[in-house]
Each structure stands twice: as structure tokens, then as C-alpha cells.
Homo-oligomer: A and B are copies of this chain.
């Protein structure tokens, strides 16, 4: 049973703060082990990769076997059902066409003084994509991470995926091929992150690493940040559903459980102004849980982290949503757009009763890689912008330099940087 909070209750602020601050993941302290793994991969390269793979993924491997071959990808694709491949193709096409709209424009202009300013966007030269192995090996995530990189124009997209006991999910390979991934290596964990960041004989280094992973992968990404770029550190998934009394309680319950089934650490929260809906959803959740294949996981998530929050009116939901900064926000009200416009912090917003979040997970076209753990306060849905970077451009004419130079010289001198001042004044001497 999820907790029930009433925004009108005297202890609401304390209980809501507790909900916000609750730790959903035990922070496994793997940092020093990860430091050692990275050092080993830096010093011993492929040999260390094979050794850690034997130890953690329990199979023998040589450096020559690290890369997944074209023949293996062919064989994997042949194993997948035509129906599933077709659905993956629908997802690929929709994700690609949506992300094509995100390509940013270069700019160049000349201001009133004659100074030319602008910027150029260029693609990152090589990107590493971490794909978790085992139960969390989701082909849809391969599409969501690799397609924006390819649309951005990244020439080299390298996927690493652990294969516990040597087993690989054929759909993950099929998705990688559909998305245009250039190289695939069967290695995971902190060792894979180290290889991508520093390179080995077999795996050339990349400039940026993206993709979710466990505590080891997260700690490794944090450590190599700076050597390479990284995306956000992914935490357990979460949804907030805002709904009024007209919402269908069975649909709302299904949406909450779709989130809860990910992981016992996932979080599903309903915010409503209708006590009747709250009660009906609670009942529907119990009923649906009984027949859900992953009911154990979803039930544990709902009991430990789920919540139903009663608010006096839906406007009162807005500051609560902003404090929760949910990865996914569903607004199941008739005026969903108006309410959405008031929200500052959310990774993705799903509008109206006919947009279950699962559509966005697969075939909506928008990206399902979203900021978790309240990081929507400062970070964004994954996009083409994550795979390009902006170079600033400046060009002075002799006359604009003469005009601006005086102020530059004064500021440089005020900062005690005479060399800076001199690099300007030397050009004005003969002007």
C-alpha cells in the first residue's frame, strides 16, 4: 500500500519532505574498487578487460573475441521475430524523424561596431554507448541513445554491453544495427567505461560516454568525467500522474504500475484533487497487481515508494511537481496543456488521457532517456544537442579593435594581466 498524503494536513510539509528526501537506492560503495579497475585497464589494456570479464561475467575471452562480428549480428537478427523487428523499425523511423528537427543552426552576425560574432556546431568525433546486460538489456534504449548521436553526425558510435555467461540479447544487436552503431564490444562494468575513456589496443578511445548502468558503471563514469564527456548518472525510474476526478482509475493505475514494474526502487506517485479517484486508483492498483507478471517487483515499488497525494485543487499540484522534478509527468486532465505550461521541472510531460508514458518509451518519437532523481531541476531529455558542441567565433576589424581595445586594456590592467593588455595595445600602436 502506497502512502497517502493530504496537502491540507498539518504534517503535510514534513511528510512530503520525507518523501522527497527518501533514498530509493542503497548507494553501494564501489568507488575504490572502480578506481583500481580503471587503473588496471589503463596499464594493461585488453588483458585487463579479458580478466575482468572472466571474473565478473564468468566466461573465457581473448582480445580478438571482444568485438561482436557482423556474422554474429546477422545471426542475432535472424533469431528475432519479424513482428518485433518491424516494431523496432517503426520506433527507429519515428525517433529519427523527431530528432532530425533538433539539429541546431550555426550563427554569424556583425554588430554595430563591425565585430563579427557567431558560433559553429560540430559533432562529437566518437561516442561510447553503455548498454546494460542481463534483464535490463533493452533494445529500445539502444535506439534512444544511438539514433540522436547518428543524427548529430557522430562518425563513430561504439557500443559496449556485458554478456553475463557469454549470453547476449539478440534484440539488442538488432537494435544496434538498425540505429547505425559502428562497433560493438562484449564487455561491461567499470572496465568497459575505462576502455572507452582511455582506449586499449582493441577499443579506441571515444570523446563522450552515454547510457545507463549499475553502481559500478555510474562510479566509473563519474571518475572519467573530464577525460571524456558523460551524460547524466541515471537513477531508478519514476512517474508522477496528475489527474482529476474525470480520469479513468484503471488507466491511471496501469500507468503507475508500468513505472513500478521497472524496479523495486522505481517510484510512482498520483497527485489528484479527487478523493474518489484516489480511492478508485488504489483499488485498481491492488486488482491489477494480482495479474501482472512482474507484480512482485511492482508491488514492492508501490508499497515502499508509491504515494497518493490529495491536493485541494490542481494548481496546488504545480509546486509539488516542481519539487519532485519527476522524470515522467502524466497530466490526465481535460486542460492538460494549461497545467503543463505552469510546470518548471519535469523530464517529459505526457498530455491527456490517451498518452500513457509507455508510448514515449517506444514509438512516440521523443527520447526516453530522461533525468531521474530530481535532476530535471537542472538537466534535459537526451537530444541531438548532447552529441554536438558549440565553438564560439569572434572576428574584429582594425577599427572595431580600436574602439573596443580601450575597455579591454583597462579591464586587463585592473585584473593585473599586463600581457593581455599588451596583446591588444601592440595592435593599436601603428593604427
Q: Is the CB of B293 within 8 A of A418?
A: yes
**Stretch in A9-17, A178-186, A254-262 with 4+ CB within 8 Å of B:** A254-262
Which of B111, B225, B352, B423 meets A357, CB within 8 Å?
B423
- Given A359-B394, A359-B405, A367-B392, 10 more pairs with CB closer than 8 A: A122-B343, A229-B379, A255-B423, A351-B395, A355-B395, A357-B423, A359-B401, A361-B408, A365-B394, A380-B390
Q: Select from chain B the residue with minimum beta-carbon distance to A35.
A: B31
Complex alpha-carbon distance, A191 and B99, angstroms: 41
Q: Is the CB of A419 within 8 A of B84?
A: no
Complex alpha-carbon distance, A292 and B425, angstroms: 13
Which of B83, B361, B381 meets A392, CB within 8 Å?
B381
Which residues of chain B come closer than 8 Å to A262, judged between CB atoms?
Answer: 417
Q: Is the CB of A122 within 8 A of B360?
A: no
5 tightest Cβ-Cβ pairs between the two chains A and B:
A229-B378, A261-B419, A351-B395, A380-B390, A207-B377
Which residues of chain B come closer than 8 Å to A196, judged between CB atoms?
Answer: none
- Is residue A310 contacting chain B, with contact meaning CB distance below 8 A? no
- Is residue A150 contacting chain B, with contact meaning CB distance below 8 A? no
Which residues of chain B come closer than 8 Å to A394, judged between CB atoms?
Answer: 348-351, 355, 359-360, 364-366
Q: Is the CB of B365 within 8 A of A419?
A: no
Q: How far is the CB of A351 from chain B (nearest CB, A)?
A: 4
Q: What 0/1 pattern do residues 397 to 411 of A give for CB contact below 8 A with B?
A: 110110011111011
Sample (12) of A-B pairs whose CB atoms are under 8 Å apart: A91-B407, A97-B111, A111-B365, A117-B366, A208-B378, A226-B375, A229-B377, A261-B417, A347-B392, A361-B420, A381-B391, A383-B390
Chain A: interface residue count, which band? 35 or more
Complex alpha-carbon distance, A378 and B261, angstroms: 35
**Stretch in A43-51, A56-64, A135-143 with 4+ CB within 8 Å of B:** A135-143
- Is residue A193 contacting chain B, with contact meaning CB distance below 8 A? no
Which residues of chain B come closer than 8 Å to A207, judged between CB atoms?
Answer: 377-378
Complex alpha-carbon distance, A176 and B358, angstroms: 46
Which residues of chain B come closer than 8 Å to A124, judged between CB atoms?
Answer: 377-378
Q: How far is the CB of A410 from chain B (nearest CB, A)?
A: 4
Q: Is the CB of B294 within 8 A of A417?
A: yes
Q: How far is the CB of A376 from chain B (nearest CB, A)?
A: 7
Complex alpha-carbon distance, A261 and B419, angstroms: 7
- Is residue A271 contacting chain B, with contact meaning CB distance below 8 A? no
Which residues of chain B come closer than 8 Å to A139, judged between CB atoms?
Answer: 411, 414-415
Which of B97, B258, B352, B383 meets A422, CB within 8 Å?
B258
- Is residue A19 contacting chain B, with contact meaning CB distance below 8 A? no
Given contacts A88-B411, A356-B423, A394-B350, whether A117 and B364 have CB atoms under 8 Å apart is yes
Q: How far is the CB of A175 from chain B (nearest CB, A)?
A: 10
Which residues of chain B come closer than 8 Å to A405, judged between CB atoms?
Answer: 359
A319-345 contacts to B, CB under 8 A, are 322, 336-337, 340-341, 343-345
Which of B250, B366, B383, B419 meets A260, CB within 8 Å?
B419
Q: Is the CB of A251 within 8 A of B427?
A: yes
Which residues of chain B come closer than 8 Å to A345, judged between CB atoms?
Answer: 122, 125
Complex alpha-carbon distance, A404 and B416, angstroms: 63
- Is residue A98 contacting chain B, with contact meaning CB distance below 8 A? yes
Q: Is the CB of B348 within 8 A of A393?
A: yes
